[in-house]
Structure 1
Amino acid sequence: MARRTGEETRALLLRVGIEMLFERGAAAGVQHIRLQDVLRRAGLTTGAAYRLWTDQTEYQRDLAVAMIDLRYSDPIANASAAVAPLIARQAPIDEVIRVAAETHAIDAEQKQDVSNGRDTQAFLLALALRAAGGTAPELREASRRRHEDSIAGFDVFYQRLMDAYGWRMKTPYRIRDFTEAMAALGEGFAIRALQGIAHPRLDLEPGHEGPDGRWSLFGIAVRGLVHEFMTPVR
């Protein structure tokens, strides 16, 4: 069997560390992933790691960066798939907003539900590490990369929705302003989920000034942003 290269060993140990992060959850953080435990699970000796990292702290830093960079699927693809049938039948914009909001990882219950797959777990783990990154330049850079990548993708997604429904941005707002506000709102609710705070749900009766049906509070807040930033083309 060919001997692993240093890069292959590094990738293996980071992969094992990520598996341990998934098992232990966001609350544990990388500080509780001990390099000796990672080596034991990988079946490697101590020397294999210390040829790559000078100490456990360096390994944990690189593990945090790898977790922040990790994506199992394109979040835009998930959101697009959720609303595509609604757009195809020209469902009311309120229904699109309500359904699209449900694709976000906002519930403490959803966080615990492994049937949601690893996309939700990876998002929440990365968010927790970004929030706790402090001033470490590598973590700040990884966080910036992930943020910019998401913002650019959702810029395109929201523009497609506006085009499909004949809406435009109100002056002087830009699509980027709306996307940044949406990101802050979604991440704020996700942090609450990490803290175990259940997401509020509203059962709204017909006949009042807002929408009706069962809505998440996140969905209602998104609806408010949509009507503040956007308007139908007259």
Structure 2
Amino acid sequence: MGRILDRTRESVLEAGISMLLERGPEPGVRHVRLVDAAQRAGYTTGAVYRCWASQDAFQRELAVAASHHHATSVIHNIVLAVRASVEHGAPLAEIIRVAANDNIRAPRSDEGLAALAIRASGGSEEIRAASRLRFLDGIAEHAHCYGTLLRLHGRRVRAPFTIDDFALGLGALGDGFTIQTELRIRHPSVDRDDLPEGVGRDWSMFAVLVEAFVERLTEAVD
């Protein structure tokens, strides 16, 4: 019975996230009704109310699931960009440029989902705890990705900072620019001529700041 309820919960949440992506994040989770998500997922109202006691309980969990969906898709995009650059033997600066530019400029259907959990939490300690856990999971995934990339290029995070601190800082930087994107604030870029061969000239501000972050917080391994 427990596995059936877990599958039901997962399917209905996936349907709810699809509805959020279709409508955009501005209306928020309050416009996604449990009965509509259940119908899309192919479940009856009675079945889904065994998973959630109320509409509010469903919407709070949907907000957390949506934020996790956003974090997971960001990680996926970073990994794809980094992998392609590494396979072509690109220098670290070019990998930073490509990954950061893509993260800022690539059109995304899930922009705005990252803030939903916080907005929906209200006074709920349960939802804040769940959001925090999902956030820390995302930081751990980023840290693993960044740690692998640094090792490939013979670098490590400078003490006393750790790779988790490094990922936390880059995450805060990226989240800040995400908020600006949601507010339709133009992201600046620069055409650089101070780079070695093999590194593109088109740099977003995010890419420039990530490069500075790497230079200041990491060091070559002896």
Q: TM-score, normalised by structure 1?
A: 0.74
Q: C-alpha offsets along residues 119-152 of structure 1, whole Å, 9 cap, x if unaligned?
A: xx2xx34412134234422322232222222221
CA separation in 2, counterparts of 1:136 and 1:38? 23
**What's 1:182 paired with?**
170
Q: Partner letter of residue 79 of structure 2?
A: S
Partner of residue 130, structure 1 = 117
Percentage identity across aligned positions? 38
Separation in 1 of the partners of 2:7 and 2:83?
Answer: 40
Q: How does 1:1-234 map to 2 (within 5 A)?
A: 10-35=9-34, 37-38=36-37, 47=46, 50=49, 52-70=51-69, 75-104=74-103, 106-107=104-105, 110-111=107-108, 121=110, 124-132=111-119, 133-206=121-194, 213-234=201-222
Shift of 1:7: 5.5
RMSD: 3.2
Moved more, 90-99 or 174-183: 90-99
Q: Distance in 2 between matches of 1:140 and 1:45?
A: 29
Which is worse superposed, 127-136 or 156-165?
127-136
Structure 2 residue ranges without an equivalent (≥5): none
Distance 1:145 1:126, change over 3 A: farther
Where 1:22 maps in the other structure, the secondary structure is helix
Distance 1:47-1:220 versus aligned 2 partners, 3 A rule: same
Whether the aligned pair in 2 keeps the contact of 1:127 and 1:191 (CA below 8 Å) is no
CA distance in 2 between counterparts of 1:195 and 1:146 reads 25
TM-score, normalised by the number of residues in structure 2:
0.78
Unaligned runs of 5+ in 1: 115-120
The code of the aligned residue for 2:115 comes to: A
Following superposition, the deviation at residue 222 of structure 1 comes to: 0.4
Aligned in 2, Cα 1:232/1:20: closer, same or farther, shift over 3 Å?
same
